Structure 1
Amino acid sequence: MSAYFQPFLDRVRKQSDSPDPVSQGVPYFRRVSHSHGLSPTNESGRRHSAPAFAFSAKDSNQQQQHQHLPPKQAITLWGRMIGYMGSNEKRPTPLPPLQETHRWAESESESQSIDATHLALVTRKYGEISAVASRTSTSSRSSIVVIAHKTQYCPPIDRLYALKLSRPAPNQSSSDHHRARLEAQAALASAFRHPHIVNTLELLPLDKLGNILCLCMEYCAGGDLRTLLQVATTTRNPRVFSEANADCLFKQLLRGLVYLHNRVGVAHCDLAPENLLLTEKGRLKIGGFERAVVFRKTAAAHAVNVHGVVSLSTGRCGSILAYVSPEQYTGQEFDPRAADIWAAALIYVAMRTGGVKKLWSEATEKDRRFAAYVEDRKMESDNAILEEICNDRSQDVLYGMLSIDPAERPAAGEILASAWMQDVHCCIADASEGR
């Protein structure tokens, strides 16, 4: 087992007897909800009430501040959407969360199984597994995200955590690369301290060989932006991503990028709606740092065992083709910060169109829509979708962010300081250190 886990058993045993062994800074949930229609129960069997999470604005043209309804008023827009999805989607009866987790671990190989002792130590610290949020599988690895519920009577604790369990695919000759990459991701992400970055706590092994790893993070009750886009499309509700709502979330995304690029010298390199999470109050948080690139030596960079400092990248970094910048297909070196700016612009377009209209499927010449966009920009012609969703100020900024030449794209701080963003009244106060 890697030296990364050497202090694990002793440390957790010591912490398990303390009143609150969990790292500070994790949200305290007295009223929680769960994406995907999940509603875990506490030890007494009582289900938690719906959240006060609502996207609404008095007047989107004036971009007024978002208003959250009091708990005793009518069901919020978010609650209605989740209810709609739950009542219209036919799902098979799920397995109990813990049983489903064990079945996931053993689904590809009988030699990969969760060790009961390791699992007991994790659940003692973060609570019992109460729900399964999602499962994903790629050619190199498989992962499952479960929700752990930590309750305690005295002192009172009622918190939720997201535990992402990962294991290498059975066709992989060695798990060393898988483990090394997750260790680097956990070490890097746990060094971030920002209100718009998902709080990563630690990486723990769940088997004796360290092949099944558990990344422990704060739980974001609002789910991910991709799910919200899907719900908005299904319900055909234009209020979800009105101009005011999209501007608010976009401004929060920029705050997180300014912190990453300017303060800690890290580029995300895989920005997409799947990696943007929302709290129950509507705060956007950037997660999913598996492909992050350290381009400048900072304190956060020292937290990762990187071989030198990477200033430029080569090859495709992003995993979602629709958000990958064109320079990543050239095989030449590129600035990873410019790739983040490109992806952020496309995320804004996805929000404003409700995920229905796409500028292109991938930024290559074989995509006809992208090829047409390149020709239009050479002729300084306007794009129909951007014309539809943008005002004069936002249009200029987005065209700059979507410049084919990455050197012409503005930095995150420049976008945040633009006249467009300065006039956006964000529903979340600016507690950012990176602005």
Structure 2
Amino acid sequence: MDYLIIATTLLVSLFVLLAGGVWVALALLGVGITGMEFFGGAPAGSILATTSWAASASWTLTALPLFIWMGEILYRTRLSQDMFRGLSPWVRGLPGRLLHVNVLGCGIFAAVSGSSAATAATIGRISLPELKQRGYPDAIAMGSLAGAGTLGLLIPPSIMMIVYGVAAQVSISRLFIAGLVPGLMLLTIFSGYLVLWSLFNRRSIPDEPERLGFVDRLRRAKLLIPVGLLIVAVIGSIYGGFATATEAAAVGVVGALVIALVSGSLTRETFMASLLGAVCTSCMIFFILLGAHYLTAAMSFTGLPAELADWIVDRQLSPYLLLLALTLLFVVLGCFLDGISIILLTTAVIMPAVEAAGIDLLWFGIFLILIVEMAQITPPVGFNLFVIQSLTGRDLGAVARASLPFFGLIVLAAIIITAFPDIVLFLPQMVHTS
């Protein structure tokens, strides 16, 4: 059987369906049915029934709606306002001043959210108006928020890590641990860029009239205590080996409800809105997951993944060359698909090739999430771009241009972890997980 014809047929079918406005989940199902009927030699309906059950009957996936609900609850609290007030006195002495609140605020919220779009929206709805009022340039304010918002994918707990862990059969707890150092590294790279940009554009950074003493700054820092305790409860329980990802997610939901209650944000309306938002997002992800599982089964019946792995072995492609090719593929897909769809769409095909090249699947998960972060700020389907466009009213092109330097910084981070893979792997090797 000519595998090139199979691959071309399935790829063309996918892009035709997506270009026609078909939902991603239905497009994946359609391509899977096409592959099964014409090339798989198995009953499409029976395989759909079994894969539908396999896609949903996973205990590991129970962490997903819980983490989504936790982020939805916190999104409706005064957390972003408290974070801005708590962080701003400590960054006024740095070059770039309050621009660093975007990066640090997104990094902190990422540790309790797991969603890139929610991180950008939560921090942006407070920081962008404040920065504009104080006279900070719109471009660097929007760009830093778009870039830092992607930390929601990398700093655990991450929804994307759960999706990859289920798809690639990699421990989610180990992924959470592996993502911590690269996440902090990327946060540092973003802040470092803001320092350099500010040194070269001193006149663009306004003076800050407010000067607080050390004691006053400590008082402001108390506003960060609730989110700090929540981070320790959720992430610390996983790193300490006291809880699985699902158990930590349940702890996070309870903690988020307590924060909302204490802050006075927990009403019947906000509770129901957070619950409905979590249900809608979870259903969307699970629907895509079902379509991706079916496409995975269809791919297996066609023999395409195994053939691709054999081709990689026969050509003796180096891991670096394979990673470069996959990066280009993901960047192109990122222009048309969201990150979850990219991971679920490609995992079935590329995992055998990645394993054949001798690449560690745990490390590759973090690398893949870094690349998917680029998709969040690439037009025309960059979710973070849409979030910032809705917050600012600026056109998508202006937001994309402002985000371009931070796209390059994510590329730099991917190069660094490729050159030094222990940045990802050393912490999971040190921490014992259940």
Same fold (TM over 0.5): no
Structure with a larger share of its residues in strand: 1
The two structures have a TM-score, normalised by structure 2, of 0.22
Structure with a larger share of its residues in helix: 2
Higher normalized contact order (CA 8 Å, seq sep 6+, divided by chain length): 2
